[in-house]
Amino acid sequence: MLSTTLTTPPTPPRAADDLAAMLIDARQRSLALMRDILDARELGPRLAIVNPPLWELGHLGFFHDYFALRGLYALPDYQLADADRLFDSSSIAHDDRWALPLPSRETTLDYLARVEQAMLERLPVGEASAAQSYVYQLTTLHEDMHGEAFLYTRQTLGDPPPALGEPTLDQRPGEVAAGPLPGDVAIPGGRHLLGSDDSLPFRFDNEKPPMTVEVAPFQIARAPVTNAEFAAFVADDGYERHELWSEAGWKWREQQQLEAPIYWRRGATGDLEERHFDLWLPLAPHQPVAHVSWHEAEAWCQWAGRRLPTEAEWEVAASREPTDEGTSLAPGKRRYPWGEAPPDARRANLDAWRLGRVDVAALAEGDSAFGCRQMLGNVWEWTASTFGPFPGFSPDLYRDYSAPWFPEGRRVQRGGAWATRSRLIHNGYRNFFMPDRNDTLAGFRTCAC
Radius of gyration from C-alpha coordinates of the chain:
22
Pick from 122, 157, 192: which residue ends a domain?
157
Helix segments in 41-129, DSSP class H: 53-64, 83-87, 105-121
How much is the pTM? 0.95
My answer on whether 328 and 230 are in the same domain is: yes
> Is residue 20 classed exposed, middle or buried when 0-12, 13-18 and 19+ CB atoms within 10 A define those classes?
middle
Beta carbons within 10 angstroms of residue 121's beta carbon: 7
pLDDT on residue 79: 76
- Look at residue 9 and tell me if it is in a domain: no
My answer on whether 146 and 176 are in the same domain is: no
**Whether the predicted pLDDT of 273 surpasses 70:** yes
| Ramachandran quadrant class, 105 (left: phi over 0; alpha: psi -120 to 50; beta: rest) | alpha
My answer on whether 446 and 323 are in the same domain is: yes
CATH of residue 124: 1.20.120
My answer on whether 210 and 181 are in the same domain is: yes
The C-alpha atoms of residue 395 and residue 204 are separated, in whole angstroms, by: 9
Length of the chain: 449
Number of domains in the chain: 2
The better pLDDT of the pair 376, 166 is held by: 376
Q: Provide CB contacts within 8 A for 67, sequence distance 6+.
A: 2, 6, 135, 138, 139, 397, 398
- Look at residue 1 and tell me if it is in a domain: no
> Is residue 242 classed exposed, middle or buried when 0-12, 13-18 and 19+ CB atoms within 10 A define those classes?
exposed
My answer on whether 428 and 385 are in the same domain is: yes
Q: Provide CB contacts within 8 A for 278, sequence distance 6+.
A: 158, 159, 160, 161
- Look at residue 425 and tell me if it is in a domain: yes
Domain containing residue 435: 168-449
**Whether the predicted pLDDT of 110 surpasses 90:** yes
pLDDT band at 1 (very low <50, low <70, confident <90, very high): very low
Cα separations in angstroms, 130 against 12, 133, 357: 6, 5, 37
My answer on whether 122 and 188 are in the same domain is: no
* pLDDT tens digits for range 181-221: 999 999 999 999 999 999 999 999 999 999 999 999 999 99
My answer on whether 199 and 237 are in the same domain is: yes
**Whether the predicted pLDDT of 78 surpasses 80:** no
**Whether the predicted pLDDT of 62 surpasses 50:** yes
pLDDT on residue 76: 80
- Look at residue 4 and tell me if it is in a domain: no
pLDDT on residue 171: 43
Q: What is the mean pLDDT of the chain?
A: 93
CATH of residue 365: 3.90.1580.10
- Look at residue 347 and tell me if it is in a domain: yes
Pick from 157, 177, 199: which residue ends a domain?
157
- Look at residue 366 and tell me if it is in a domain: yes
**Could you give the angle at the alpha carbon of 25 between the alpha carbons of 19 and 29, nearest 5°?**
145
Contact 156, 439 (CB under 8 A): yes
pLDDT on residue 38: 87
Contact 359, 180 (CB under 8 A): yes
My answer on whether 269 and 335 are in the same domain is: yes
* pLDDT tens digits for range 246-262: 999 999 999 999 999 99
Pick from 103, 123, 157: which residue ends a domain?
157
pLDDT on residue 3: 40
